[in-house]
Structure 1
């Protein structure tokens, strides 16, 4: 206890010392606050600026010195430590520099206002000129002279200001150039004051001056307002008196100036503006003012001229600077080419002579692009992307020329081979542009093949000049199409690792699946349609007129031919899927193909068990009845064909059995397949039972025979389930026996005689007893199996 009391007293002494120190700190803090307040009052002008936040008032300041010594320590530590400190602030306002103009203010004051001003000035001159023209205030010659004086004065004033105010001077020069353009155009087109040669010379001079000025100032604004703005001149003064030849010649001169500027500077906004405005004006004229018979030559000539100007404009800088291609470049080049082709195609289609030249026109486009690509490649004027793009246009227009000039299967074959060639170049030469160009050609070739199939296999049926089976152009087209796509698929499969340009976009990923899918589809359908066409031709060829005793006559066909054809179509489908599965197992080892073939195999089995067995029963009934035997030979092949079909079904089941055990499939389908196998065997056995009972003349096949068969097969499945320790087989057997009993009580006994009922009931009863005996005898084995 004494030691504890001493320790407490020692701690109290330390506490009193600390409280004393704390009180001293509080006094020092208060003196600092008072000094700060005095300084603030001395600099009253500074306080009004608001750069220093006001300090707490005396009422808000903590009174630490008066705190009693025995209060908790936290009250002494609360306010002084958290007291506000003066912020690091900007220099006092009296030392601040005046604020500079913001960027927006600079942009509006120095750039935007002068451009808006010159545009408004030009519009004002145009409106005033139009008003004077409409009201005949001044003579035409005076109008032209005043216009030239206004333009030249503005031009001289702009040039004079170039040294000190270059940007402002550029705007004035461009406005003056636009005025000189429109005055010259008006003098020739509306008043006839200038001859044609003089007008073109003046416009050429203004264009050269605009080019030189824009290059000298290095300002796009001159080219925009002076050249592109000149497009608006004919429309501002238009009174429907001008001719399209003059308008388009005027526009061509402007575009030639843009071509030269583009070669020097490649100002893209200038090129874009000129491109859009030119084709809009030309297209509007075609839509609203074009006279079909009188102006077709003018339209073709100027559309070609504009196309060549923009083509040269686009290529000039690319060839000079070897600049890398961008998406916008591709869009521009393709847009220019296809706008010209579309306009030319439409103009030529208007006349009979032009329609015969459509293929030549498309071929001419291809030749033009080919010459450009050849020059680029031989002289190595630009990067490979430009060469590939122009070469791609060659192939595109060749592709378009094919269906225009040719018809029939040649279109399909040329497109398919062209797609294969492009894909080969794209993969082997690592040129992704060519590979991308091959994709639309593949789709075009596929749809063209669909068209060929429609014309060959459906429209020709029953015609005297119909195709001969197998040896026909349609089937040959299918085989050659398969050959082309086999080559493409081989490249797609075997060159991925070598190709540095791996599929990296959605289209390429889709096509990597679409190519083998198209190949398999066409390979299957090529033979399928040929088989169908053969039997359908025989069916239509079997037509005979039948005249009854009452004089009523009609046409009759041998329906056995159509049924036989349907069975062979099913047999072919089973064989095709089986071969595909075996090829995948032995060579390809592709999981996706395995899943597809497994799904197709299951669907083919379902079709066989439903439509196939029903068609086989129709052939059997025809053989038994012999209704039209006096007209057609109905032989024993109606019976034997069912066993040929069973052989194809067996082949497919064997192939599926091997497929589901392949490790690359990665699907546990063994139990479902075994159930499917037993159901298929039972279904076929039931059909076979019905077949031979009908052949024997029995009328109880659907009742007596099926019930006994199903019960017996259920017993067999129970035995197999116990023997092989497969519970699912025993469960399926129980379900099958349940269906058999339902059939017995709700269908069989309704029309069976006493003997038949006795046979069915006794047979099923014995089968049930046997099943029960087996369960009792092997109950320990079944129990151990379930435990395991």
Structure 2
């Protein structure tokens, strides 16, 4: 009882304390009301007093309840809602003032200076076109306008630094284009004086940009100067002057690069310089006139941007981001691409293409060596630079060499880089191997198209011995290279020490390498087979002038082309079957299994559509004996079809084995039955036509096929009932429907009375048998379970 009484006393004391605090809140509310009345008298926002006066009692109540709650749990009362609203009201004008400040102090002045510069340029252009004032007066007035703007900007620097910076940048842009116009259009200055003035302006712009620490000065003053030649004229024929002018501007940007890293400045100057150079190159470049100048300025621009991109980063020892790497790569590729084109269009330059490519590699090597020795940057930049060295050395190979050596060197280098990247965990090397893989694939396909497509029967030196030639050896070595890369990928992927998650590009490469490997193996063997038959076909050419004719006749053994196509299909059937067997026994890949099943079905369908047609062509040739006096036509034309059936059977069997594999986790019983029974029906129909043609039975396409299809449908019904396969019975009904449509729409109009009788009676009997089977085994059909 004593403890309970103590707790009651404690709660009563807290209640008295809260009542006292409630009185204090009431006093504070009264004070707030007085303050509101005072604000109302001074005509400050009346909405504030209305809001507080109407919400104060409720807020006081909420605050009291909060205090009671806080007192019970032993915490201090929180900041009231009134105080929060008042603090929010005070912050609102600050946001408005910031927006207003941005527009008034930053945005408007930049728009104004751009419009001013454009206006001066347009005015100068107008005065030039209408000859309102003399050239000298135009130039003097231009300099005076720039000087006035510059002086006004400098005067305002102390109090309005940002505004002053914009004015100074506009003044420098005016100085640039006035000097350019004075020299290029009016010849008022000698070349030396014009360049001296531009150097002075560039130095002043650089110093001002660094002194103000404002990127806008460099951006408007230097990059904006690129537009000057186009504002003043449609273009200048003084290409040397234009490029020299651009070089001076870019040197200024280079100097700034050692102090500041202003990306918009680099992006703008980089894009404008190469755009102007490229447009000039494709529209105005003439090898006889511009070769030396083009190579000089191309190299100068490349080196300026190379040093500009590297300068600040190396001095400040900052890491390179992806954007920096892309800029370096673009700069290198543009320089090489344009330089290659310039040299290739010049007779002597063609002999220097390999040297030019190696010079590119040497430049990057020197930079990479300096970075490595001085430890000026992170290791990724060093790997990237060395990667560029390897790339240009690689590119130099096809410039000086041709054919198989290119493919082998690219495949070998791709294998080396992939091994280094994946085994030594140097990501940049692995990434550099990807384009080399692509180059190797393109190169070997190009080799095949040039070598195997260039056989000339009149030139024995072009004849290729199947499997025993340098081109096939190249294919084998390329296969070994990609096979080794695939083995490395499997080893590293399944290694217990490899705990790093695989990213998207590694996953893509893991799928791409085996696909490329399989394609190269398939085409390497296929092209040997096709080339063998193509050479036989070309060698079979005969030119004969029959007696009594003036014009010669040309003959070829067309059977060879059909045999070539059939053997190509047979090889493809064997290849996909072997691939299926390897996956079933060794690889056990689910993805490869699904891919293999689809390919098997497509190849079988191709045989049914194309292969059987070619076999029918061989049969027709055997029966007609066309050109038999020139070429041997034997029973092989008939036997070929049964050889092909063996390969089709192997492919069907390989596909069936997939249906039994646990790793595939895929059951396609219905799909396989459709593939099997449609193939059997198609081949049986072809065989029926084949033998009825041989036996010269005229109604083979009508009577025989209708009866065959009816019997086949009956067999499907029997199998469907026996094996409890509903889909076979449905397939039989569909086949019967097609047969009946053929019977009434086609057969009746072409068959004689006896044939019609045979067909109708046969199909009628078959239908009766089917009906009998359904009635006899209806309990099985009704109670069968779905698969």
CA gap of 1:252–1:566, structure 2 versus 1, over 3 A, is closer
1:456 paired with 2:454, answer no
1:316 paired with 2:311, answer yes
CA distance in 2, matches of 1:178, 1:608: 73
CA distance in 1, matches of 2:729, 2:118: 95
Task: Indicate conservation of the 8 Å contact 1:686/1:709, yes or no.
Answer: yes
1:293 paired with 2:288, answer yes
Alignment of 1:685-724 (within 5 A): 685-692=684-691, 694-695=693-694, 699=698, 701-702=700-701, 710=709, 712-724=711-723
Give the root-mean-square deviation of aligned CA atoms.
5.3
Match of 1:486 among 472, 480, 483: 483
Alignment of 1:329-408 (within 5 A): 329-398=324-393, 400-408=395-403
Task: Indicate conservation of the 8 Å contact 1:626/1:634, yes or no.
Answer: yes
Task: Indicate conservation of the 8 Å contact 2:601/2:675, yes or no.
Answer: no
Q: CA deviation at 1:136?
A: 6.1
Task: Indicate conservation of the 8 Å contact 1:461/1:533, yes or no.
Answer: no
CA gap of 1:207–1:689, structure 2 versus 1, over 3 A, is closer
Q: CA deviation at 1:271?
A: 3.2
Q: CA deviation at 1:673?
A: 1.9
Task: Indicate conservation of the 8 Å contact 1:430/1:500, yes or no.
Answer: no
Q: Which moved more, 1:645-654 or 1:315-324?
A: 315-324
CA gap of 1:575–1:218, structure 2 versus 1, over 3 A, is same
Task: Indicate conservation of the 8 Å contact 1:148/1:183, yes or no.
Answer: no
Q: CA deviation at 1:587?
A: 1.6
Q: CA deviation at 1:573?
A: 1.4
Q: CA deviation at 1:427?
A: 3.5
Aligned to 2:464: 468
CA gap of 1:738–1:410, structure 2 versus 1, over 3 A, is same
Aligned to 2:560: 561
1:527 paired with 2:522, answer no
Task: Indicate conservation of the 8 Å contact 1:601/1:652, yes or no.
Answer: yes
Task: Indicate conservation of the 8 Å contact 1:528/1:572, yes or no.
Answer: yes
Q: CA deviation at 1:646?
A: 1.9
Q: CA deviation at 1:246?
A: 5.6
1:262 paired with 2:261, answer no
1:747 paired with 2:778, answer no
CA deviation string 1:701-735 (max 9, x = no partner): 55666566555555544444444344444454555
Alignment of 1:497-512 (within 5 A): 504-505=503-504
1:643 paired with 2:638, answer no
Q: With the length of structure 2 as denominator, give the TM-score of the two structures.
A: 0.73
Alignment of 1:594-613 (within 5 A): 594-613=593-612
Task: Indicate conservation of the 8 Å contact 1:148/1:180, yes or no.
Answer: no
Gaps of 5+ in 1: 1-32, 56-84
Alignment of 1:562-581 (within 5 A): 562-581=561-580
CA deviation string 1:84-134 (max 9, x = no partner): x9999869x9x99x9999235545666678778888999999999998998
Aligned to 1:45: 41
Aligned to 2:542: 544
Alignment of 1:80-91 (within 5 A): none
CA deviation string 1:463-488 (max 9, x = no partner): 63544142445444444443443344
CA gap of 1:45–1:455, structure 2 versus 1, over 3 A, is same
Q: CA deviation at 1:308?
A: 0.6
Gaps of 5+ in 2: 1-28, 52-80
Q: Which moved more, 1:700-709 or 1:268-277?
A: 700-709
Aligned to 1:81: none
CA distance in 2, matches of 1:497, 1:382: 34
Q: CA deviation at 1:575?
A: 0.4
Q: CA deviation at 1:528?
A: 2.4
Q: With the length of structure 1 as denominator, give the TM-score of the two structures.
A: 0.73
CA gap of 1:102–1:453, structure 2 versus 1, over 3 A, is same
- The structure having more radius of gyration, on CA atoms, is 1
Q: CA deviation at 1:586?
A: 1.0
CA distance in 1, matches of 2:111, 2:728: 89
CA distance in 1, matches of 2:235, 2:732: 92
Partner SS, residue 651 of structure 1: helix
CA distance in 1, matches of 2:233, 2:722: 100
Aligned to 1:3: none
Task: Indicate conservation of the 8 Å contact 2:576/2:599, yes or no.
Answer: yes
CA distance in 2, matches of 1:467, 1:547: 28
Q: CA deviation at 1:382?
A: 1.2
Task: Indicate conservation of the 8 Å contact 2:703/2:747, yes or no.
Answer: no
CA distance in 2, matches of 1:708, 1:700: 12
Task: Indicate conservation of the 8 Å contact 1:496/1:502, yes or no.
Answer: no
Partner SS, residue 555 of structure 1: strand
CA gap of 1:483–1:463, structure 2 versus 1, over 3 A, is farther
Q: CA deviation at 1:174?
A: 6.4
